[in-house]
A = this chain, B = another copy of it.
Amino acid sequence: MLDAALRDGTAHRQCVFELFGRRLSGGRRFGVAAGQGRLLSLLREFRFGDDELRFLRDERVVSAETLEYLAGYRFRGSIEGYREGELYFPGSPLLTVTGTFADAVILETLALSVMNFDSAVATAAARMSIAAGDRPLAEMGSRRAHEQGAIAAARAAYITGFDATSNLEAGRAWGVPTMGTAAHAWTLLHDTEEDAFRAQLESLGPDTTLLVDTYDIAEGVRRAVALGGKRLGGVRIDSGDLPLVAADVREQLDALGNTDTKITVTSDLDEYAIAALAASPVDSYGVGTSLVTGSGYPTAGLVYKLVARQSASGEWIPVAKKALDKGSTGGAKQAFRILQNGVAVEEHVRLASNEPAPEGSRSLVVPLIAEGEIDAAHEGPEGVRAARAHHMTVRRELPVRALALSKSDPAIPTSLV
């Protein structure tokens, strides 16, 4: 496309692309937009290097003119969009990218990859966080995601309510708090469970959490308390029927006088399993597979569409595909969340104008890149902290019906005017 557009001159037409979702995956009641901070950092480095240009030339993928354009490429346009951690609904204009066709079309795959993956995980994590209430959540799913996706998943989960991750790179690169855990391999490595527990207690102190289900849970708990004493921090259970097992273990710990020793559970949890444990004596959750795979919806289904362009004479023209099930709405847009008594009641999306914001509304769109200049406040650990804080604030605006886990319609309607 770029090659042909450079040839016929349309590559230089000013365009507006919009990144949005036509619907919410899986009958969810809200989505969470995530990935903006990662995308901005990736765009800082988005260049075509010698290796890439050589491949494109050797394989005759593009013409010499296009190679020259790519060699000098950096994004010189503008992007505005929803803050990272913001909620979204069908038709919310999450990113609006303005630039020449060539400058903007080339970002499509990167922008969608980042936003689709991170938003899918962030949305699932928000639902788990709601289900967990005040109990802490640890992200432990790295091994069930692509090795780089795992880092992004830990980051997205932290933004929408998880408290820590087992992914140390997410700690180093993004400032996500990290935690560790002993695996069954730790117990099996030692000649006896007693040896394993003693070595862990000596290394990490009594405040550590011992994994008690390698052999027999009741025996494991007895041994953990005998070695760790009253100050034993916690025990972890990773198998079995968790509500039953948690109740038994709590009873056993209390009978042994270890009323302050906490119980962590971790076996294939998702938001539904977490909700089902609400009445069980569980102190914290570790979540893996279902989190990093978006709990059944591993991509947010966001799309990137041309919505307006300049004509040869410089006039702005709204454009849209016409298919019934895959239509889009032409024109650059603004978005506001309308609140009544602090509760969200409508996603108000309208064609860009100088009209004042609707009464009682919060504007949803902020500048991210202005004519090639990236706003660094959204990047790095600082950006992650801001996104988490923003998410926690705006989640409080959701109506109560948005907090249910069952499939339904979006929690608030989108008005597109």
Bitwise interface map of A from 178 to 208 toward B, beta carbon under 8 Å scored 1, else 0: 1010111110111100000001101110000
Closest residue of chain B to A115 (Cβ to Cβ) is B143
Closest residue of chain B to A182 (Cβ to Cβ) is B1
| Distance (whole angstroms) from the CB of A197 to the closest CB of chain B | 11
User: Which residues on the B side are within 8 Å of A112 (C-beta)?
Assistant: 143-144
A109 & B239 in contact (Cβ 8 Å cutoff): no
A158 contacts B by Cβ under 8 Å: no
A238 contacts B by Cβ under 8 Å: yes
B188 & A321 in contact (Cβ 8 Å cutoff): yes
A134 contacts B by Cβ under 8 Å: no
B17 & A147 in contact (Cβ 8 Å cutoff): no
CA distance A379 to B259 in the complex (A): 54
CA distance A195 to B83 in the complex (A): 38
| Partner pick for A289 among B61, B101, B199, B299, CB 8 A cutoff | B299
User: Which residues on the B side are within 8 Å of A324 (C-beta)?
Assistant: 239-240
Known contacts: A55-B172, A185-B306, A321-B188. The answer to whether A145 contacts B215 by CB under 8 A is no
- A residues in contact (CB < 8 Å) with B: 1, 3-5, 7-8, 10, 13, 15, 17, 42, 51-52, 55-56, 59, 61, 101, 105, 108-110, 112-114, 116-117, 142-150, 152, 167-169, 171-172, 178, 180, 182-186, 188-191, 199-200, 202-204, 213-216, 238-240, 267, 289, 292-294, 298-299, 301, 304-306, 309, 311-312, 319-326
Known contacts: A147-B42, A309-B189. The answer to whether A172 contacts B322 by CB under 8 A is no
CA distance A301 to B268 in the complex (A): 11
Closest residue of chain B to A318 (Cβ to Cβ) is B188
Known contacts: A148-B149, A149-B117. The answer to whether A321 contacts B184 by CB under 8 A is yes
Known: A1-B182, A109-B142; 15 extra A-B contacts, CB below 8 A, are: A3-B204, A10-B189, A15-B189, A51-B172, A59-B178, A108-B143, A113-B143, A113-B146, A116-B145, A117-B147, A185-B306, A188-B319, A188-B320, A189-B309, A239-B325
B323 & A147 in contact (Cβ 8 Å cutoff): no
Known contacts: A109-B142, A214-B321, A312-B191. The answer to whether A305 contacts B185 by CB under 8 A is yes
